[in-house]
Amino acid sequence: MADMAAPVQVSQPVKYKKKRTKITTFDVVNVIVFTLIALIVIIPLWKVIVDSFNAVGVYQFKLWPTDPTFDGYKTIFTTQKLYRPFINSVVTTVLGTLVGLIMSTLGGYVLNQYDMPGRNAFSYFLLFTMIFSGGMIPEYLVMKQLHLVDSMWILVVKHGMNVYNLVLMKNFFEGIPTSLYEAAELDGCTPMGIFFKIVLPLSKAALASIGLMFAVTVWNDYSTVQIYITDPNQVNFQYQLRVMIMDGDTPTTAYRVSQDTLYYASIVCAILPFMAVYPFLQKYFVTGINAGAVKE
């Protein structure tokens, strides 16, 4: 087998120079293919952005708005039917992330106390929810009893507790050397003190990445709103976007903008918060999944 490839390799007689990779056809093709793949991802997004600034809807793909206008965005932020859901989205995302982080750090920390009587029971109590669930309808009936139907707080409640993220947090805490705890205990630090003074400050990266996971989930949630909320004052932006575009329920007052401009501007608003921070926080976006999945 080896001699098949051998003759190709021989053709570099003199070398003491640094190892320099030779660029082959393979590399060229590879670069071209991946550039195409990246374009497939980028072009739809670019078209959305460009068309959101275009006063007149066009079907072609343009690199730059031909007839630039900000009216799409102006309309969104002056129409109550549109900016109200946006504010709801911001509020629920912030609160949901906060509650989610509190719950998963508390639970993850307790789950790590192998000395605590009842620790295993607590762990089964949490893990059972990953195997079995009541289902959509019983959940709906419970939320109705809790008066959370038709209220945007359902988003905070539904996403505030996530067992998967809690386990991620626990895995992270496990990585903190036990010697630190012991030293703190010797110095007379209480368990709560250890949690606030040692564990949390050491977990900033984990908090950032799990916090982002919560934020993305709550911001992007559409189905919860679809199931639980009908009051237009309580819906979030994703839902409003969907209703406007797919069901054709455009706010009916006379606008100066074309329908398409408004649609595309709304899409941009719906993705803007994460697109804006993503390039800078990519590290945190990506570590969460790795921590969970490849930890051996």
Partner 1 sequence: MSGKSKTIEPAPTVQVRKKPLKVRIRHSMGFYFMALPVIIFVVLIYYWPMLGIRYAFFSYKLRSIHWVGLENFRMMFSQKEFWQAFINTLWLSTFKLVLNTFAAVVIAIFLNEAINLIFKKVIQTVIYLPHFMSYAVVAAIFSLFLSPSSTGFVNETLKSWGWISQSIDFLHEKSMWQPIFFAINLWKEVGWGTVIFFATLSGINPELYEAAKIDGATRLQRMRYVTFPALSSTIIIVLILNLAKVLNMFEPVFVLYNSRVYDVSDVISTFIYRKTFLQPIPDYGYTTAVGLFKSVVGGALMLGCNALSKKVRGRGII
Q: Among residues 16 and 132, whose Cβ is nearest to partner 1?
A: 132
Q: Among residues 40 and 254, whose Cβ is nearest to partner 1?
A: 40
Q: How far is the CB of 253 from partner 1 (least distance, A)?
A: 21
103 with 160: CB under 8 angstroms?
yes
Q: Which phi and psi (to 5°) does residue 68 adopt?
A: -65, 140
User: How far is the C-alpha of 225 from the C-alpha of 242, rounded, in Å?
Assistant: 11
Q: Among residues 151 and 226, whose Cβ is nearest to partner 1?
A: 226
Structure tokens at 11: 């053709």
Go through 102-118 and write b for each residue having 16 or more CB atoms within 10 A of its CB, e for each that does not.
ebbbebbbbbbeeeeee
Q: Among residues 47 and 81, whose Cβ is nearest to partner 1?
A: 47
110 with 116: CB under 8 angstroms?
yes
109 with 199: CB under 8 angstroms?
yes
Q: Which phi and psi (to 5°) does residue 54 adopt?
A: -90, 125
Q: How far is the CB of 264 from partner 1 (least distance, A)?
A: 8
Q: Among residues 87 and 130, whose Cβ is nearest to partner 1?
A: 130
Q: How far is the CB of 289 from partner 1 (least distance, A)?
A: 6
Q: How far is the CB of 272 from partner 1 (least distance, A)?
A: 11
Q: How far is the CB of 204 from partner 1 (least distance, A)?
A: 20
